Structure 1
């Protein structure tokens, strides 16, 4: 059995993006980068929505070639190898993208490691991934996707990096009416960061 893990950054007032999908005001500091790499090291498959996938395939291949193109590396050259490893793992891992709009032409340099699943088939595809052996099935971002999988009982764990930003409006982390009971497993905070990592498991033993 594999674990479906959601990893995302969220503002203190509960948004994963601002109006129009703007994520620029979320505090993506070193804690965010380190969390992403930690989760990638434990993953066997990336499970993504189309918007997140398009953003990643447009960004990470260039970083794999030259980490200095990353704004984070330009600000702090010491994180260059962290970003290089992140880019390499993003490229190498098998990727399952749930989308009715994405086509093979959109997969670019990740064509050989990307499988597109239509939304009507998503629940069955994720359930099948859970039954396999291997590393975690990792969901980065992709709130529309995991907001659908969570009430369907297809999410096992959530890593929520709560950052010190108030967006006021935008895309809420949890859609209205999503039924789930979460059990806190751990909290942590990296030295020098004002973000706090909350690690939850989904408790299916209790009624929602």
Structure 2
């Protein structure tokens, strides 16, 4: 059975984005891209919500073949371009996302679709961002691991990472990166 792995960045005070949904309020550094590259190398499916899908395609696709981007950014860009993507959205259509190897699943069908994906052969199913997509999946017991990169800043407001109570989780690993004050906490979620 495949694992559903959620990987997110959050502030010390538990925010996924700052005021006005400003994700750049978080203290990104080289550890963020390095850890994301590790995650993409373990996955063959990307599960995201509409907003993360649109932002990821706009940011990462141009970097896939950009000679001025770092090799790490180009590899993540190629992953974003080439990987099978499932977009949870009630507004996008399959036609709008098919150019990017993606299919659309309606929000009320997401849990069933994830259960089916998990029962197929393959590598991990990876979720980046998309907190409104994965929080219900966490509550439904479908998330296997939660990887939280905790940034070394309290931003004082914004969009909370969690939208409700969480099931009990088991801490599997803590990790610190050289030349970074960010920390990764890896939990077993179900």
TM-score normalised by L of structure 2: 0.96
Looking at structure 2, the residues matched to 50 and 17 of structure 1 have their Cα atoms a distance apart, in angstroms, of: 16
Q: 2:82 is matched with which residue: 92, 110, 116?
A: 92
Q: 1:149 is matched with which residue: 124, 128, 137?
A: 137
Shift in Å, 1:102:
1.4
Looking at structure 2, the residues matched to 51 and 67 of structure 1 have their Cα atoms a distance apart, in angstroms, of: 27
Determine helix, strand or coil for the equivalent of 1:115. strand
Determine helix, strand or coil for the equivalent of 1:200. strand
Distance change (3 Å), C-alpha of 1:171 and 1:185: same
Larger Rg: 1
1:77 aligns with: none
Shift in Å, 1:19:
1.8
1:33 aligns with: 33
- Residues 97 and 103 in structure 2, CA contact (< 8 A), matched pair in contact too: no
Determine helix, strand or coil for the equivalent of 1:187. strand
RMSD across aligned positions (CA): 1.3
- Residues 57 and 107 in structure 1, CA contact (< 8 A), matched pair in contact too: no
Aligned residues: 190
- Residues 49 and 130 in structure 2, CA contact (< 8 A), matched pair in contact too: yes
Looking at structure 1, the residues matched to 19 and 146 of structure 2 have their Cα atoms a distance apart, in angstroms, of: 24
Determine helix, strand or coil for the equivalent of 1:9. strand
Looking at structure 2, the residues matched to 116 and 41 of structure 1 have their Cα atoms a distance apart, in angstroms, of: 23
1:181 aligns with 2:168: yes
Looking at structure 1, the residues matched to 23 and 67 of structure 2 have their Cα atoms a distance apart, in angstroms, of: 21
Shift in Å, 1:67:
4.8
Residue segments in structure 1 that go unaligned for 5+ positions in a row? 74-79
- Residues 54 and 106 in structure 1, CA contact (< 8 A), matched pair in contact too: no
Shift in Å, 1:17:
0.6
Looking at structure 1, the residues matched to 146 and 183 of structure 2 have their Cα atoms a distance apart, in angstroms, of: 13
